[in-house]
């Protein structure tokens, strides 16, 4: 049976208030973020504005500020915050025994949506 | 009105915190009921004893910590007998006798003698140089000892001992703390927090010996050191005993009052003699004695109510503790010993040095220990005191109030609004939220007015943010705010200037600490304040600053400029715009090897290689380093380029060696972080081919020397430079340049280029600092060079050698899985 979750490594490899990337099929990337409270979130690494790499932004509270033009994106919903409108797919994450698991189907579907 | 002489005579023994507060409470209820005499053993007015620690640390003066000055005694017709201790009480005659022989009749007697420091009975305890930490005389003795520098030993690693050690170490002494137990502050902190505390203090240069038992204090005629039971000797010219306190009950016992550990009192603070009351640390109420001020405020209220026929009664206190060591946040409340049925909720964040533990029993909080982030201390304490049911909050409890109550993080006001009226706002002066709000409603509509009226935030000031929030909530649109200048961002009520001043004043050295101490209203700031704070800290503490990469904009984190497609551009430094075949070859090789789509001459006289992938950056840098090139900081709020023209070496009009001077300037200033980018140019004559008059610092060479220009900007808003002055030698040109940069670094707001900064402060101000004040200029230059001694390290070389390689790598690769899935 296909596993539902993909283990992508220990939480300790994520910098607090930072992110790392996971390349997947088709050259796209998933960005995995860690907040100050230690919660972990994953978004498609592509800003709804002009595809800026969100993984390189500044993480604060539960949002990330895009490095290209400073849009703020919610890590919880993928929605652009404030005046800006747009949304990036969220990939489910769970932590099990200190390891990061991401939703397999969503990861791939989310990327399909972006690649299209 | 009753004539003063006919009023009942209230005599108070002890001019300390409880004694005077009790009198204040009585006067507030009925100013005419008593004629008051206060005896104080100390030869001074009433002051805030808990502020002796900041006083020792040099953060306060005696005047700052006075609670009631002489005018208060005069205005209220209180007879203060300072410096004359009471030596006996005659209950039958209803008199007290003072050391001077003075005998005073009382109708009501109030004993508020506090505690005596406990002295461990070891040989040498009476040597000169052995002091306790209880009153102003002790602090004076410590300050005198600290004047000579040298070694100090503090016996006792509790609250008092650590505050003494902190103060002495700030005063320049080399401090060793001797603590009997295995962890510091074991009565207030659990092991984990005690350990964090220990390592933080060690990081500040103190030596902490736990599990250490003092055998003897030795010295000929004065202290020379201590010897531990395990034989170790520690030299010391000062020994502070801070091992605990004992209620001062002698007077009462001798007069035959009932006493246990303290003088027994009932709920109205009356002792076994109905005409004698007692309050403060010297009492025992229902088996409890207290060593903190909060219970004493409650006792004083009950006492005054009792004396003025309002029998509310005292019911005991739950206490919380905060350590007053600037920059180290520790909070503890209630019972943290765990035990049957108790459950721990723990949050640790090692990278931020945070440890939080909330102890829950039957869905009620029974204790809390917070280290590193104590913002929620009051909230937990409030829930604890009220024994509120936290079942619904449980999952998010540990993340603090803002998080647990949902959405609050974005609205700081709602968190404060949610506090109950009796939640304590000002710990130093025991002022509740209700009291602050009623003070505001009664007309105190500025921070200063609140401070003057109810004393909230008038002592250590750490609740200033809370009080301001209460002003904002209570007054709504009517609250003008305290400050004319703009706040740094929505996360704080402080301006850039305030924050910079407070960083220095409070010795704040890390971003979480700044946010903690200055009451940031967001948990971890935002993308505007974090980079600014990181800069302010590195500027304030060169050499000590620890970088926070997560507070750097991506370009400064990756040491390259991010491009619209997520790749990076790489600009190596080309000193003064001069290059050579070896450098050009290395650049050419990089372009080919990494298939860079574009290489371009920049407007800053160097070459820019475009389209490099983040994974390839370290390798690119290694190749460029190998040819002797370092980062050009084309990505940084930092020294960018120094443009030059060919100058006197080649040009027929050249008056001086502009190329050489430009290279010297770049060698001196490269690597320096600034509020914004900073550009320099040197032109060899007034034809100005290097465009020096649109640079932050520009030099125009003339026959007789060098014209120095400042504040130019060729960007969005064109601004020509102002002439700063003319100097005669290259060295002077460099010295002025360094001083000017440092002034800009220290005083401009983050993201101000020199042009808007100078427009704001005025050219005259800059001239006064750089041209007219030679000593100040030299000091600025020295500070710049000192800071440069830490920042002229090529960030590329560190990365090329493998530092932070994870920034350039993916966390994992799952391509095989993906392929299998499609199959
Ligand atoms: C590469 C270069 C253009 C070129 O191909 O020549 C360049 C490229 C950029 N400039 Fe510039 N500027 C370049 C010389 C200039 C100059 C000319 C000069 O320095 O003599 C100016 C006007 C002089 C000045 O600064 O006063 C200039 C004024 C700006 C400004 C407006 C600054 C202002 O104060 O108004 C910005 C925007 C900003 O910094 O906020 C900017 C911002 C940028 C950024 C960083 C845009 C960005 O944020 O991504 C561009 C980065 C490109 C990259 O990835 O490398 N660039 N830029 C030049 C690099 C010089 C170097 O060797 O380091
Ligand atoms: C350095 C330091 C830091 C502290 N920090 C904190 C803190 O952060 N938080 C906190 O809650 N608590 C703190 N405390 C404890 C707090 O100061 C005490 O709980 C509080 O002062 C007790 O008040 P009191 O009136 O009972 O005693 P005191 O304030 O000590 O007043 C007693 C007074 O009575 C005088 N006296 C004694 N005998 C006689 C006599 N026979 N005749 C005349 N006068 C007499 C004494 O000289 C003294 O002035 C700290 C204490 C110290 C020393
Ligand atoms: S002028 Fe504008 S487009 Fe050209 S490099 Fe500078 S910022 Fe980019
Ligand atoms: S691409 Fe993210 S803000 Fe423009």
Q: Mean per-residue pLDDT for B615-638? A: 94
What CATH number does the domain located at B8-114+247-307 have? 3.50.50.60
CB interface of A with B, residues 50-109, below 8 Å:
50-53, 56-61, 65, 67-68, 70, 72, 100, 104, 108
pTM of the model: 0.53
- φ, ψ of residue B616 to 5 degrees: the values are -90, -10
* Ligand nearest to the backbone CA of A53: 4
Model confidence at B112: pLDDT above 50? yes
Touching check for B806 and chain A: CB below 8 Å?
Answer: yes
Q: pLDDT per residue over B142-188, tens digit each?
A: 999 998 889 999 999 998 999 999 999 999 999 999 998 877 888 88
Domain assignments of chain B as residue spans, ordered by start: 8-114+247-307, 130-243, 411-480, 496-551, 638-793
**All residues at 6 or more sequence positions from B218 whose CB lies less than 8 Å from its CB, including other chains:** B123, B124, B224, B225, B226, B227, B233
Atom number in ligand 2 closest to CA B321 = 9
Q: pLDDT per residue over B473-488, tens digit each?
A: 888 777 766 544 567 8
Residue B1 class from Cβ within 10 Å (0-12 exposed, 13-18 middle, 19+ buried)?
exposed
Q: Mean per-residue pLDDT for B727-750? A: 97
What CATH number does the domain located at B411-480 have? 1.10.10.1100
Shortest-distance Cα residue to atom 3 of ligand 4: A69
Q: pLDDT per residue over B384-422, tens digit each?
A: 988 889 888 877 787 777 777 654 444 556 667 777 787
> What is the nearest CA distance from A60 to chain B, expressed in angstroms?
6
> What is the nearest CA distance from B557 to chain A, expressed in angstroms?
9
CB contact under 8 A, B347 and A6: no
Binned at pLDDT 50, 70 and 90, residue B66 comes out as very high
Shortest-distance Cα residue to atom 36 of ligand 1: B715
The reported pLDDT for the residue numbered B375 is 83
Touching check for A8 and chain B: CB below 8 Å?
Answer: yes
Is there a shared CATH topology between the B8-114+247-307 domain and the B130-243 domain? yes
> What is the nearest CA distance from A96 to chain B, expressed in angstroms?
17
Q: Mean per-residue pLDDT for A76-93? A: 90
**All residues at 6 or more sequence positions from B210 whose CB lies less than 8 Å from its CB, including other chains:** B157, B179, B181, B182, B183, B184, B198
Atom number in ligand 4 closest to CA A52 = 1
What 8-state DSSP symbol labels residue B747?
H
Q: Which of A22, A57, A59 sits opposite B810 (nearest CB)?
A: A22
Q: pLDDT per residue over A31-82, tens digit each?
A: 999 987 778 999 999 999 989 999 999 998 889 999 988 899 999 999 998 8
The reported pLDDT for the residue numbered B485 is 54
- φ, ψ of residue B134 to 5 degrees: the values are -140, -40
Touching check for A2 and chain B: CB below 8 Å?
Answer: yes
Query: Above 0.85 for ipTM, yes or no?
Result: no
CB contact under 8 A, B527 and A23: no
Pairing of strands B424-426, A93-96: unpaired
Touching check for A14 and chain B: CB below 8 Å?
Answer: yes
| Ligand 2 pocket, residue B39 CB under 6 Å | yes
The reported pLDDT for the residue numbered B521 is 67
Burial profile B676-712: b = 16 or more Cβ within 10 angstroms, e = fewer: bbbbbbbbbbeebbbbbbbbbbbbbbeeebbbbbbbb
Touching check for B815 and chain A: CB below 8 Å?
Answer: yes
The reported pLDDT for the residue numbered B682 is 98
Q: pLDDT per residue over B531-580, tens digit each?
A: 999 999 999 999 888 888 888 888 888 899 999 888 999 999 999 999 99
Binned at pLDDT 50, 70 and 90, residue B526 comes out as confident
Which residue of A69, A80, A85 sits with most ligand 4 atoms within 8 Å of its CB, as the best mutation to test the pocket? Answer: A69
Burial profile A71-96: b = 16 or more Cβ within 10 angstroms, e = fewer: bbbbbeebbbeeebeeebbbbbbeee
Spatial distance between the Cα atoms of B377 and B15, rounded to a whole number of angstroms = 31
Model confidence at B820: pLDDT above 60? no
The reported pLDDT for the residue numbered B584 is 97
Superfamily of domain B130-243: FAD/NAD(P)-binding domain (3.50.50.60)
Model confidence at B361: pLDDT above 80? yes
What average pLDDT does chain B have? 88
**DSSP secondary structure, B58-102, as one string:** TS--HHHHEEE-HHHHHHTT-EEEET--EEEEETTTTEEEETTS-
Domains of chain A listed by start with CATH number = 5-115 (2.102.10.10)
| Ligand 1 pocket, residue B552 CB under 6 Å | no
Topology of domain B638-793, per CATH?
Sulfite Reductase Hemoprotein; domain 1 (3.30.413)
Measured in Å, residue B412 CA sits from the centre of ligand 4 at 28
Q: pLDDT per residue over B200-226, tens digit each?
A: 898 889 999 988 899 999 999 999 999
Model confidence at B756: pLDDT above 90? yes
Indicate the angle between helix axes B730-747 and B774-791, nearest 10 degrees: 80
Spatial distance between the Cα atoms of A34 and B345, rounded to a whole number of angstroms = 20
Q: Mean per-residue pLDDT for B597-618? A: 95
Model confidence at B512: pLDDT above 80? no
Residue in the structure block whose two tokens are 């994974």? B615
Which residue of B12, B13, B14, B45 sits with most ligand 2 atoms within 8 Å of its CB, as the best mutation to test the pocket? Answer: B14
Spatial distance between the Cα atoms of A68 and B750, rounded to a whole number of angstroms = 19
Q: Where are the beta strands (DSSP E) in A1-116?
A: 5-10, 18-23, 29-34, 40-44, 58-60, 63-65, 72-74, 90-91, 93-96, 99-103
Touching check for B442 and chain A: CB below 8 Å?
Answer: no
For chain B, how big is the Rg over CA atoms in Å?
33
Spatial distance between the Cα atoms of B39 and B59, rounded to a whole number of angstroms = 29
């Amino acid at each position: 049976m296909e596993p539902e979750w993909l283990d992508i490594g220990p939480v300790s490899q994520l910098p607090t208030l930072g992110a790392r990337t996971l390349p997947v099929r088709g050259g796209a990337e998933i960005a995995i973020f860690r907040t100050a409270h230690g919660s972990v979130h994953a978004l498609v690494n592509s800003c709804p504005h002009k595809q800026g790499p969100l993984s390189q932004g500044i993480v604060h509270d539960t949002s990330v500020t895009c490095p290209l033009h400073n849009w703020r994106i919610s890590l919880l919903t993928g929605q652009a915050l404030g005046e800006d409108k747009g949304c990036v797919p969220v990939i489910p994450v769970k932590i099990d025994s200190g390891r990061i698991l991401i939703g397999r189907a969503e990861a791939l579907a989310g990327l399909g949506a972006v690649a299209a | 009105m009753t004539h003063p002489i006919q009023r009942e005579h209230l005599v108070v023994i002890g001019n300390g915190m409880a004694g005077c507060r009790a009198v204040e409470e009585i006067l507030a209820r009925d100013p005419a009921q008593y004629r008051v005499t206060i005896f104080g053993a100390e030869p001074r007015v009433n002051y805030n004893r808990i502020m002796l620690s900041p006083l020792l640390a040099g953060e306060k003066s005696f005047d700052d910590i006075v609670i009631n000055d002489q005018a208060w005694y005069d205005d209220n017709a209180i007879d203060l007998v300072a410096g004359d201790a009471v030596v006996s009480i005659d209950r039958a005659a209803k008199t007290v006798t003072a050391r001077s022989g003075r005998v005073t009749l009382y109708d009501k007697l109030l004993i508020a003698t506090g505690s005596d420091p406990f002295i461990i009975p070891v040989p040498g305890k009476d040597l000169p140089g052995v002091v306790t930490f209880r009153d102003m005389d002790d602090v004076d003795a410590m300050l005198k000892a600290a004047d000579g520098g040298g070694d100090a030993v503090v016996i006792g690693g509790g609250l008092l001992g650590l505050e003494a050690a902190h103060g002495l170490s700030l005063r320049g002494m080399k401090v060793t703390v001797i603590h009997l137990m295995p962890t510091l502050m074991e009565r207030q902190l659990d092991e984990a927090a005690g350990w964090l505390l220990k390592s933080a203090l060690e990081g500040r240069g103190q030596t902490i010996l736990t599990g250490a038992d003092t055998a003897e204090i030795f010295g000929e005629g004065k202290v020379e050191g201590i010897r531990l039971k395990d034989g170790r000797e520690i030299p010391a010219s000062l020994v502070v005993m801070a091992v605990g306190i004992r209620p001062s009950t002698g007077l009462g016992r001798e007069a035959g009052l009932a006493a246990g550990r303290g003088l027994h009192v009932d709920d109205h603070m009356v002792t076994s003699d109905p005409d004698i009351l007692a309050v403060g640390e010297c009492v025992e109420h229902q088996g409890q004695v207290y060593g903190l001020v909060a219970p004493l405020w409650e006792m004083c209220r009950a006492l005054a109510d009792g004396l003025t026929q309002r029998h509310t009664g005292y019911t005991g206190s739950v206490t919380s503790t905060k350590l007053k060591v600037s920059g180290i946040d520790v909070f503890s409340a209630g019972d943290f010993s765990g035990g049957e049925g108790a459950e721990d909720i723990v949050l640790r964040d090692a990278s931020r040095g945070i440890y939080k533990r909330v102890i829950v029993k039957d869905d009620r909080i029974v204790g809390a220990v917070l280290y590193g982030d104590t913002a929620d201390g009051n909230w937990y304490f409030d829930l604890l005191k009220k024994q509120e049911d936290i079942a619904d909050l449980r999952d998010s409890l540990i993340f603090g109030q803002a998080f647990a109550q949902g959405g609050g993080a974005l609205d700081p006001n709602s968190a404060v609004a949610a506090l109950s009226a009796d939640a304590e706002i000002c710990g130093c002066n025991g002022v509740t939220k209700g009291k602050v709000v009623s003070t505001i409603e009664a007309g105190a509509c500025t921070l200063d007015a609140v401070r003057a009226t109810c004393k909230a935030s008038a002592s250590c000031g750490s609740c200033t943010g809370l009080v301001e929030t209460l002003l904002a909530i209570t007054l709504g649109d009517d609250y003008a705010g305290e400050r004319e200048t703009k706040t740094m961002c929505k996360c704080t009520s402080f301006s850039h200037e305030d924050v910079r001043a407070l960083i220095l004043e409070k010795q704040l050295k890390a971003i979480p600490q700044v946010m903690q101490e200055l009451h940031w209203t967001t948990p971890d700031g935002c993308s505007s304040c974090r980079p600014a704070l990181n800069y302010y800290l590195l500027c304030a503490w060169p050499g000590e600053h620890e970088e926070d990469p997560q507070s750097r904009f991506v370009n400064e984190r990756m040491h390259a400029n991010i491009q619209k497609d997520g790749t990076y551009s790489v600009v190596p430094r080309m000193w003064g715009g001069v290059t050579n075949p070896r450098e050009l070859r290395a650049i050419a090789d990089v372009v080919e090897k990494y298939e860079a789509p574009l290489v371009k001459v920049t407007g800053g006289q160097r070459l820019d290689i475009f389209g490099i992938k983040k994974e390839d950056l370290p390798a690119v840098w290694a190749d460029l380093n190998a040819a002797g090139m370092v980062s050009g900081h084309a990505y940084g709020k930092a020294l960018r380029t120094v443009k030059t023209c060919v100058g006197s070496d080649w040009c027929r009009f050249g008056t001086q060696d502009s190329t050489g001077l430009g290279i010297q300037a770049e060698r001196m200033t490269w690597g320096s972080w600034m509020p914004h980018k900073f550009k320099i140019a040197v032109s060899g004559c007034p034809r100005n081919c290097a465009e020096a008059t649109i640079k932050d610092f520009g030099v125009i060479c003339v026959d007789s020397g060098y014209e120095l220009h400042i504040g130019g900007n060729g960007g969005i808003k064109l601004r020509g430079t102002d002439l700063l002055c003319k100097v005669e030698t290259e060295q002077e040109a460099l010295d002025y340049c360094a001083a000017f940069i440092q002034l800009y670094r220290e005083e401009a707001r983050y993201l101000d280029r020199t042009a808007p900064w100078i427009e704001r402060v005025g050219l005259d101000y800059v001239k006064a600092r750089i041209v007219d004040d030679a000593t100040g200029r030299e000091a600025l230059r020295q500070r710049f060079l000192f800071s440069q001694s830490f920042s002229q390290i090529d960030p590329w070389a560190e990365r090329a050698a493998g530092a932070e390689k994870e920034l350039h790598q993916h966390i994992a690769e799952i391509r095989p899985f993906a392929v299998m899935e499609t199959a």
